[in-house]
Each structure stands twice: as structure tokens, then as C-alpha cells.
Structure 1
Amino acid sequence: MTYEQIFLFCLLGVVFGFLVWGRIRYDLVAFAALIVAVVGGVVEPHDAFVGFGHEAVVIIALVLIVSRAMMNAGAVELIARVVLSSGRSLSSHIGFMSVIGAGLSAVINNVAALVMLMTLDIEAAEKAKRPVSQSLMPLSFATILGGMITLIGTPPNIVVAEFRGRALGEPFSMFDFSPVGLICSIVGIAFVTLVGWRLIPTTGQAAAAGGADEPGLFVAEAGVKENSKAIGKPVDELYPLAEEHDVAILGLVRRGKRLPGFAASEEIRKSDHLVLEGEPKAIEAFIGAAELNTSASEKHGGIRGQSLVLVEAIVPDNARMVGRTALDLRLLYRRGVTLLGVSRQGKRFRERVRKLTIKPGDVVLLLGPESRVMDATDWLGVLPLADKRHTVIQRGKAFFAVAVFAAAVASSVMGFVPLVVALAAAVAIYCLFNVVAAREVYESVEWPVIVLLASLIPLGLALETSGGTKLIADSILSLTGALPAWAILTILMIVTMTLSDFLNNVATALIAAPVGLSIAQGLNVSPDPFLMAVAVAASCAFLTPIGHKNNTIIMGPGGYRFGDYWRMGLPLEIIIVAVSVPALLFFWPL
């Protein structure tokens, strides 16, 4: 091996190690790796930032903005309006939601589709008096499957399409992914509807979701204000009042420190803080009944202030809150909003709420004036659940938004303009007619994903030009030389799918696509089925909550544990491989 190959293999190994570890943000890891590659001489300085102008990067950013516009205009709401029905059985509900989720994911980003439908699914679970965990994971998987149907449904499709254009002269078009993607979606949805949801453990699964059987439990703090009737009483004297309001008193904080145990016999003093666990509405009612207040009562005028709202919000992995505390963010002083409570898969913790380091998948409870809470959720990058007023839907522009998007897609499919130009024109029109505000244009883009992709593109190019991808492909061929081409295609899918379960799916597609092309060239067969196999496999991350953003988002609301995903995800991945390989060979012959 050459110096460049050894350097790149070692560097990518370190990158993958950090991505699996997950303690450092993936965009920072990728960008740092790019700088190391430049310093190491394997990437030329003038090529270091070509990824930021790459067409795949621009298309992904534009798709996210278009998704925001469709939601702002109420186009998604029009489709989803018929979702809620208490008369459907669980299987019927899951099937109905899955079909809608897959259909939306085919035309907008699958993350946006999940965020829109997730709130409706939680409401349906509350009406049906069942844990939301039974339906939330099937919905997430369905939106992932639906994203495979079109070019713009999921980032791996865009990455693979643009790689084909650079390597073979012509990219995959908008609906080239549809035959195989549609078959995988239909079979996958049938599985999660009829069998898959039965494999999900339900014990303790609705703890963070607000489900009817086990409502979403938050750990919160309430201060003891002057003249409170709780002063002078031992903590256990408040137990009957707490039980009446379905709230548990977990302990007492005095002078900034949590007292040992439950502090049941400790006499309550002014300026103490009670640590509470319960549903948001129950906590709010108990605070009022016990004459307590929040830690920011002077700022807000008390929790009973008419202009205040309580908002539950999910923390995605790219939120500003991740890895930081409310104190670090100076949330109250910068935004006038209090972090009242945190729900983390039903777990209790001893840290003070404002000193608790927030993790992806947490559900936070924010308190403040409505306008400030809505601004704070945007600034923090969290996804509101219980309060939908964060989005002012311009319902009169729904059909206009759909028409603009359809015209953009049609002009690209008919070859009038490239897809990137068509989407850019659609975004410009949305901005011109105020469907998307200028601020929302920048907020809609998931910048960590953009930085990740733009940083890995030069590394992928360097791996190709150094002969690294050919070396990997030759190694695979030497190990599988006696096998037929379809078997090697299957192995490529399994390896890519496994990588995608533990790495970002964009990173997986960037590395696996050149390997797939090299294997096809080594076998002297058409590269298209191998590239399509990479696109399908990179999207199918069903075994873990870290392989796909949708799986991370549902972890907190569904009360899922890390090991819950494989129960439905493993058989689904096996089914996808079994179905997609024959479909690939039929629609994209070797």
C-alpha cells in the first residue's frame, strides 16, 4: 500500500471510531479529519473545501428548505388531517400512518415527515388509551422506507446519484429509485403493520411519550417561596397532596445541593427546592396547590401567569442543547425561558435540572411567555410536542406550495433544468411569497449534516484517486471470488447496512458507493445495481437509535431503550435484503 492509502485508511478508521463512540459531534469529527488530511498531504489545499459547493450538498440543503415551506403552508397538514381516528384497530392505525408517512417522505425530507406525524400519533395513542411505543417505532421505520422511493426522499439517494454522475457521466434521475424503493416500502410497511409492532416490548415504553397507560414523566424542580404553607413542614407531609395530583416528591435541594435520599423527614425551609416527578400538567397543578413556584418566578411572574405556556419538546442530536446545561446556555437570561423539567426514558437523576447535561432523545419541559418559548425552541433546535402553536400555518398557500414544488420536479424530470436549479427556483418563489421567511431558510438547513457531507467528500475523492477504494473492492473480490455476482451484491448490501446502523447514513453512502462501483468494474458487470444496492442499504438503519435521525427522535417520546430497536429492525433488515436483491436484478440487470 502507498503512503496515501495507509494514511487515509488510518484516518477513516479513527473517524469511524469517533462516530460510533458518539461523544463528539459528527460534523466536528469530519471537519477535523479533513484538516488532518490536508496537513498530511493526502488532500490538496485547493480541494479541501470543494465539498461545500458540491451539488449533492446544495440539493440536500434545498430539500430541507422545501420541506419547511410545505409544512408552513399546511400542505403536509392537509394530507395528515384524516389520520386521527379512535375507531381504528392498532394494526389499522399503524398501517394508515405508515402509508401516509412513507408517501410524505417520498416528496419531502423523511425527518420532516416524521416530526409532523409524530405529534398526531401521540395524540392518537392518548385517545386510544395505549402506549405510544407500539406505534411510534413503526412510523419511524415507515418514513425511512418511504424516503427510498425518490431521489430527494433521503440523503443517501442524493449522494449515490451525484456520485454516479461524476463517475459515469450521468446521475440517477428523480424516479430511478422508485421501482426498488416502492417494493421495499410496500413489503416493509406490511411487515411493521401486521407483525413488527408485536415484537416491540411495551413494559415501561410510554414513560416519556405522554401515552395513556404510562404518561410522560418529567423530573422538575419547584422553589419554596416566602409565605408558602409548605414552610416548616416535613417533606412527607406533602405526600398526600402530591399523590392527589399524581406527582412523586423525589427529594429536596438546599443551598444548591441535593440532600441525601428522599429527605422525607427534612423540614422544608424558605428558598428550598422540591424535586418532583410527574406529568407536566400534574406538576403544574401541584406547584399551584402547594404554593410553590419555579426557580424563575420573579422573571415570569409566577407559573400561574396567564401569558405563560408549558411546552414539551424533543431534543434531536443536532440541537444546540445537546451536551450543554440550562446554565451553560443562560437560557433564562438570554431567552426569558425556564427549563422546568427533563424526561429521559423514565430515568431519574440526582443532578439539578438546570445543571443536567442534555442528551439526544431527551424531552424537555420549557416554561415562559408563549412568544419567548416559541423563539427559544427555534434557537435551541428542539422539536415541540405538546404545543403546536410554534408554527403559524399559512393554510391559504397550501395548494400554491404544492403547485410550485410539482412544477420544480416536473421541470427537472423533463430535462428543462437540473434538479438543483429547479429546487433553488422553488425556494426563491417560496421566499418571494413569504411561504418561508428569510430566517427560516437558514434554520431549516441541518448544518451539521451539511458540514459532515462537505468534509467527507474530499476524503472520499482522495480515497478514490489514491486507489484505496479499488484496494477495498479487490479485497472483497478475492474473498468472494468463487461466488456469483448476485451473492457479492448481497454481501455488499449487508456490509453497507451494518455500517449504516452505527454510522451516519450519509457517511456510509459516501464510502460504500465508490467501493460498489469498483466491485462492479472488477466483475465486469453493470455498476447500476451495485450503486442502487448501496443507496437502499445505507438508508435502512433499523437496528439502533443512532443510525438514522428519525430513530433518535422517537427514542425519548417512545421511551425506547437502545436494545429495543433490533427486535423489529433485524427481521425488517433481513426482509429488505431478501426483497431488494431480486428487485435490483430485475430492474437493473447485471
Structure 2
Amino acid sequence: MTFEIGIVLALLAIAVLCFSFEWVAAEIVALGLMLAFVISGVLSPEQAFAGFASDTVMMILGLLLMTTVLSRTGLMEVVSRQLLRATGQSPTRFLWLMMISVGFLSAFVSNTATTAFFIPVVLAVARRMKTPGAMFLLPLAFASILASSVSLIATSTNLVVSGLMQNLGMPAMDMFELAPVGLPILLLGIVYIGLIGLRLLPKRHYTSVEDELKEGKYLGELVLTEGSSFAGKTLVDSRLGEDYDLNVLRIVRNKDQNLRPRGNVTLRDGDVLLVEGPHDALLRIKDMHAVQLKADAKLSALSEADPDTKIVEALLLPKSTLIGRSLKDARFRDRFGVIALGLQHKGRAVRKMSQVNLAVGDVLLLQGPPGELATLQDMGAFRMIGEPETKSMPALRAGLMAACFIIALLIGIFKIAPLPVAVLGGAFAMLASGLVSPEVIYREVEWKAVILIACMLSVGAAMQASGADQLIGQWINHLASGLSPRWLIAGIFLLTVALSQPMSNQAAAALVLPIAVAAAVQMDLNPRALAMTVAVAASCSFLTPLEPACLMVYGPGGYRFRDFFLVGLPLSLGILVITLVLIPVFWPL
């Protein structure tokens, strides 16, 4: 083992630990890894930074722009309406049609976007049918992930594998090259979930944040009497939230003046504060600070008294800037003019919600003007489970955007132009048309994915330049000596699945693919077959709720960590069997 190989393997081991324990964000780990290759002398700056100018990254950028525009056209609203008409009041029929629809859409739009859209639809249908939301939400997430191997653009992981294949001297992946394996995985996976997977889940009922708020907290009116210690202080300085776990929803002054409870509002004698919090806190503050406590108010009275205010549940999305921050640190009320009444964090209601760091899939009960709630949704921070609905484009504009998307894909599929050129051309046509706001689209694009993928492409270059891929390939060749090639496929599949659970799918594929190809070459096997195995396995994210699509249903469905393992393990083993059978058929070893 040379010094350079030792450096590369040590850096990769550190990166895997950082990915697994999430000490820093994945894209920052990837950026640091790329820079470490340069500083250590393993790669030149030109070699390390080549990923940012690669066809793969340009294609991902074009697809992200196009799918972001497409998600704002209202196309999915049309799909959901047709779905509801077709299912009537049958939960079973809705389950099957929902999974089929989600699987089809996720073959062309990211599974995260598809899942985010369908969650409110699914919960609304579940409540109308008086059926637990857990019956539909996990199948929704799994169906979206199952479609990952149907087309090249179904997931960015396929694009990473395709780009690395080119770097390793193989032709890029065709648009539907994976479909002979991906379609059986999608169809058999849906059948498994509908007939077997759901039976493995414990029976649970989805409880809305509003219901939990009503059960666990109280609303009351605090009147600041003369001499109250709160008079003359701003709302922030009163520390009602920090010291008493009370949330101020409204301030009434002089009986007819309603003030929005911003942090810089100065309280006065005679002010009436509508607050929400634990019953014991309301009694305690009454005795200590010269305030009068009126009879409990009702949650519904808040919106009824103010017709310009609505109360909705909101799902936190992966692209939100609030992830990893608490409501207090984000100055949520002051920044957005919206009040958080309750919070479900990782499927459970929390009391001191202002101090909890928010995560993907958290559900907040929000109260505020419809316009500001809609702004939150338009920013891509939340998906509203209740009102207001996202504004969609007029039908003509939506049709033009959909046409741009389809034409761009057809140009790439029939090789009239290279696929990166086709999708960037489609993105250019959408943005240059003036029918959508480029600023809005840029704000919603998942730039973290672009940085992560561009940086992780340097891993393959570092392993090649140092010879680490050849060394590991020799180890695998020695271990697999005398065994059937299918054992190598199984080993590569299991290694990729294991790495993709704690770290991103793209990072796992970037780590394993050079090793798999080197092992195939040394064993005189078809390296393309191993590359396709990595692509399929990297999207097999069913064992934990760490995949973004699974994280989003984790809280609303009231699931537990082990639920994903119980349903996902048989599914993953089934996909392994399909891979072992079909990969050698379509890519002979």
C-alpha cells in the first residue's frame, strides 16, 4: 500500500464517519473531502474541481430547474383531483391508485417533491374516510423511492453513477437503460406493500397537532392589572415563553385594538393577552405577577374573532432554512408574522417547542393571515396540510411549461442533442419565457444537491489517481476467488445499501462504484453490470427513515424507527433477488 492510497482511504473513512453521525451537513463534508484531496496532493485543483464542469452536474442543474418549475404548474393538483374522483370512499382503491400514480410521477420528478405534494392529499383523504393516515403515508414514501430505477432522471443518484461511468471509461447510462430492472422492482414492490407490508405495521391513528394542543394545553386571557411587573416591558423582555412556556397569540388594548404579538411590542397596564400553555403555568403566573386570569378561551375562537386569521397545519420540507434551528433562534414570529401554536417533532408533541431544533417532517400548527401563510408555502419552507392552497399557474402557462419539459426529454431520449444540452435547453426555455419568476425558481432549487454531487465526483478521481480502487479490487478478487459472479453482485449490493443508510445515496454510490468496477475488471467481468447494481442498490433506502421522502412521513404518520425496518427489510431482500436474477440477463457478466 502506497502513502497516497493510505491518505485516500483515511480521508474516506473520516468522511464516512462524518456522513454517518451528521456532525456537519453532507455537502460540507463532501466539500471538505474534495479540498483534502487537493491539499494532500492526491489530486491537482483541475482534477478535483472538474466535477463542477462535468456533464453530470450540468444535467442535474437543468433537471432541478425544470422540475422546480413543473412543481409549480398545478400538474400534481390535477393528478390528485382525478385520483380522488376515481377512488370514491374506498381506502383500498385509493391506496393502490395512489401508489401507482406516485410511482409513475416519481420516475420523472424527484421522489422528495412527489412525496411533499401528496402528503396533504393523503391526510385529507384519510380523515374523510376515517382511516389512519399511517395506512397511506409509508406506502406513499416507499412507492416514490421504488421508481428510482425506472429512468435515468428519476433520481440524482442515477446521474452520479452515469457520470462516474463516463469517468471510468464506459458510455453514459441511457434514459431507460435501468427500466428492465426498475419496472419489475416498482411493480413487485407496490404489490408487496399493498398485500404484505401494511400488515407488518402496528395500528396507529394520526393525531393532528390541533387535537394534541386541545388535549394538552389551555387557552386563557391574562389581564395586566395596575402594578403588574410585565407593564413597561417588551414582549421579549417579559420572558413569558422561556420562563412559563406560554405562547402569546394576541394582545388586546383599550378593548378594541388588536395588536400582533411581535417581540418589540411594549406591554401596558390593562392589556389583555390571549395566551396558550399548560394549565399549571397559567395558575402560577396569575399568583406571581399581578394579572387576572379569565375563563379558558377556545382555539376556534381565535380565528372566529379575527376573520383575517387562519389556523393550519404545516409540514416542514427538506429545503426549508428552518431545519436545524429552533423557532426562537429563527425569530419565527417576527420574521414571518405567523404564530406557532403547536409542534409535532419526530411524531410526538413537544411542550417547550420554541427550544426544539426543527427537523424534516415536523408538523407545526400555525396561526396567521392567509397571505403570510401562503408566502411561507411559496418560499418552499412548508407544505400546508390545511389551507391555504398553493397558487398554480393558469392552464395555458402550465401546458407550455409541461411541453418544454416533455420536448427536452424527447430530444435527449432520441439523441437529437446530448441529454445535458437538452435539459439545460428546456430550463432555458422555461425561464426565458417570462412565464415564471427566475428568482422564485432559484430560491427553491436544491443547491445543496448540486454541491454535494459535484464534490463527490472527485472521490472516483482520487481513487483512480492513487490506485486505491485497484488495491481494493484485488482484495475483493482474492475473497471472491472461486465463487459465482452473482456473489460479487450480492456483495456490492449489500455494501452499497449499508453505506446509503447513514450517508447520502449519491455519496454511497460515489464511494462504491470505483471499487466495483475495479473488481469487475480484475475478475474479467462486465463492469457495466456492477455499475447498474450500484445504481439500483444506492436507491434502496427502505431500512431507516433517513431518506428525505421517509422523513417527511415519519411525523405525520406517527411511525417509529423500527416500522421502516420491519417493512423495508423484506422489500430490500426482494430487490436484491430481482437484481441477482435480472442484472446478468440484461448486462451479461
State the distance in 1 between where 2:134 and 2:474 align: 44
SS in 2 for 1:61: helix
Task: Give the number of the structure whose alpha-carbon radius of gyration is greater.
Answer: 2
State the distance in 1 between where 2:244 and 2:374 align: 31
Per the alignment, residue 374 of structure 2 pairs with 374
State the distance in 2 between where 1:332 and 1:271 align: 26
| Percent pairwise identity | 28
Matched, 1:439 2:406: no
**1:221 touches 1:273 (CA, 8 Å); kept in 2?**
no
Per the alignment, residue 465 of structure 1 pairs with 465
* Counterpart residue type for residue 396 of structure 1: L
Aligned pair in 2 of structure 1 residues 331, 443: CA closer, same or farther (>3 Å)?
same
Per the alignment, residue 25 of structure 2 pairs with 25
Larger deviation, residues 440-449 vs 535-544: 440-449
Calculate the aligned-residue CA RMSD, in Å. 3.0
SS in 2 for 1:207: coil
SS in 2 for 1:314: strand
Per the alignment, residue 13 of structure 2 pairs with 13
Matched, 1:586 2:585: yes
State the distance in 2 between where 1:428 and 1:334 align: 33
**1:206 touches 1:215 (CA, 8 Å); kept in 2?**
no
Question: Counterparts of 1:325-474 in structure 2 under 5 Å?
Answer: 325-351=326-352, 353-379=353-379, 381-474=381-474
Aligned pair in 2 of structure 1 residues 70, 369: CA closer, same or farther (>3 Å)?
same
State the distance in 1 between where 2:149 and 2:242 align: 54
State the distance in 2 between where 1:208 and 1:216 align: 9
**1:315 touches 1:360 (CA, 8 Å); kept in 2?**
yes
Deviation at 1:26, TM superposition (A): 1.4
* Counterpart residue type for residue 449 of structure 1: A
TM-score, reference length from structure 1: 0.84
Per the alignment, residue 231 of structure 2 pairs with none
* Counterpart residue type for residue 554 of structure 1: V
Aligned pair in 2 of structure 1 residues 459, 128: CA closer, same or farther (>3 Å)?
same
State the distance in 1 between where 2:343 and 2:284 align: 26
CA offsets per residue over residues 381-426 of structure 1, 9 Å max, x none?
3333323523333333333233222211111122111111111111
Per the alignment, residue 75 of structure 2 pairs with 75
Matched, 1:559 2:553: no
State the distance in 2 between where 1:48 and 1:265 align: 60
State the distance in 2 between where 1:371 and 1:218 align: 29
* Counterpart residue type for residue 226 of structure 1: V
Show structure 1 runs of 5+ residues with no match: 232-251, 275-282, 294-301
Larger deviation, residues 507-516 vs 259-268: 259-268
State the distance in 2 between where 1:218 and 1:460 align: 54
Aligned pair in 2 of structure 1 residues 223, 256: CA closer, same or farther (>3 Å)?
farther
**1:308 touches 1:370 (CA, 8 Å); kept in 2?**
yes
Matched, 1:226 2:223: yes
Per the alignment, residue 576 of structure 1 pairs with 575
**2:336 touches 2:372 (CA, 8 Å); kept in 1?**
yes
SS in 2 for 1:147: helix
State the distance in 2 between where 1:73 and 1:557 align: 26
Q: 1:256 aligns with which of 243, 252, 264?
A: 243
CA offsets per residue over residues 49-94 of structure 1, 9 Å max, x none?
3322222222223222222222222223333322225645444322
**1:72 touches 1:394 (CA, 8 Å); kept in 2?**
no
State the distance in 2 between where 1:13 and 1:208 align: 42
State the distance in 2 between where 1:16 and 1:272 align: 56
Per the alignment, residue 476 of structure 1 pairs with 476
* Counterpart residue type for residue 457 of structure 2: I
* Counterpart residue type for residue 144 of structure 1: I
State the distance in 2 between where 1:561 and 1:312 align: 21
Question: Counterparts of 1:273-288 in structure 2 under 5 Å?
Answer: 286-287=298-299
**1:312 touches 1:384 (CA, 8 Å); kept in 2?**
yes
**1:314 touches 1:363 (CA, 8 Å); kept in 2?**
yes
State the distance in 2 between where 1:148 and 1:108 align: 12
State the distance in 2 between where 1:272 and 1:288 align: 24
Per the alignment, residue 170 of structure 1 pairs with 171
State the distance in 2 between where 1:529 and 1:271 align: 76
CA offsets per residue over residues 199-219 of structure 1, 9 Å max, x none?
12223x523589xxx879898
Aligned pair in 2 of structure 1 residues 288, 388: CA closer, same or farther (>3 Å)?
closer
**1:74 touches 1:393 (CA, 8 Å); kept in 2?**
yes
Aligned pair in 2 of structure 1 residues 60, 254: CA closer, same or farther (>3 Å)?
closer
Larger deviation, residues 388-397 vs 409-418: 388-397
State the distance in 2 between where 1:217 and 1:224 align: 16
* Counterpart residue type for residue 587 of structure 1: F
CA offsets per residue over residues 175-218 of structure 1, 9 Å max, x none?
11111111111111111111111112223x523589xxx87989
Aligned pair in 2 of structure 1 residues 262, 471: CA closer, same or farther (>3 Å)?
farther
**2:312 touches 2:384 (CA, 8 Å); kept in 1?**
yes
Deviation at 1:428, TM superposition (A): 1.7
Per the alignment, residue 508 of structure 1 pairs with 508
Matched, 1:496 2:483: no
State the distance in 2 between where 1:75 and 1:530 align: 37
State the distance in 2 between where 1:24 and 1:309 align: 37
* Counterpart residue type for residue 514 of structure 1: P
Per the alignment, residue 49 of structure 1 pairs with 49
SS in 2 for 1:557: coil
State the distance in 1 between where 2:49 and 2:208 align: 41
Per the alignment, residue 283 of structure 2 pairs with 266
Aligned pair in 2 of structure 1 residues 156, 34: CA closer, same or farther (>3 Å)?
same
**1:132 touches 1:209 (CA, 8 Å); kept in 2?**
no
State the distance in 2 between where 1:311 and 1:90 align: 25
State the distance in 2 between where 1:330 and 1:103 align: 40
State the distance in 2 between where 1:182 and 1:462 align: 34
State the distance in 2 between where 1:44 and 1:368 align: 53
State the distance in 1 between where 2:290 and 2:472 align: 64
Deviation at 1:146, TM superposition (A): 1.2
TM-score, reference length from structure 2: 0.84
* Counterpart residue type for residue 307 of structure 1: D
**2:219 touches 2:298 (CA, 8 Å); kept in 1?**
no
Aligned pair in 2 of structure 1 residues 195, 62: CA closer, same or farther (>3 Å)?
same
SS in 2 for 1:383: strand
Per the alignment, residue 549 of structure 1 pairs with 548
* Counterpart residue type for residue 585 of structure 1: P
**2:341 touches 2:365 (CA, 8 Å); kept in 1?**
yes
State the distance in 1 between where 2:290 and 2:455 align: 50
Per the alignment, residue 103 of structure 1 pairs with 104
Larger deviation, residues 337-346 vs 498-507: 337-346
Aligned pair in 2 of structure 1 residues 152, 221: CA closer, same or farther (>3 Å)?
farther
Aligned pair in 2 of structure 1 residues 421, 218: CA closer, same or farther (>3 Å)?
farther
State the distance in 1 between where 2:564 and 2:214 align: 22
Deviation at 1:587, TM superposition (A): 1.4
Per the alignment, residue 259 of structure 2 pairs with none
Deviation at 1:345, TM superposition (A): 4.1
* Counterpart residue type for residue 223 of structure 2: E
**1:207 touches 1:217 (CA, 8 Å); kept in 2?**
no
State the distance in 1 between where 2:139 and 2:307 align: 39
SS in 1 for 2:84: coil
Aligned pair in 2 of structure 1 residues 163, 175: CA closer, same or farther (>3 Å)?
same
Deviation at 1:171, TM superposition (A): 0.4
CA offsets per residue over residues 261-284 of structure 1, 9 Å max, x none?
96289355379899xxxxxxxx9x
**1:34 touches 1:48 (CA, 8 Å); kept in 2?**
yes
Larger deviation, residues 80-89 vs 64-73: 80-89
Deviation at 1:138, TM superposition (A): 0.9
Question: Counterparts of 1:131-150 in structure 2 under 5 Å?
Answer: 131-150=132-151
Aligned pair in 2 of structure 1 residues 406, 456: CA closer, same or farther (>3 Å)?
same
Aligned pair in 2 of structure 1 residues 261, 90: CA closer, same or farther (>3 Å)?
closer
* Counterpart residue type for residue 71 of structure 1: S
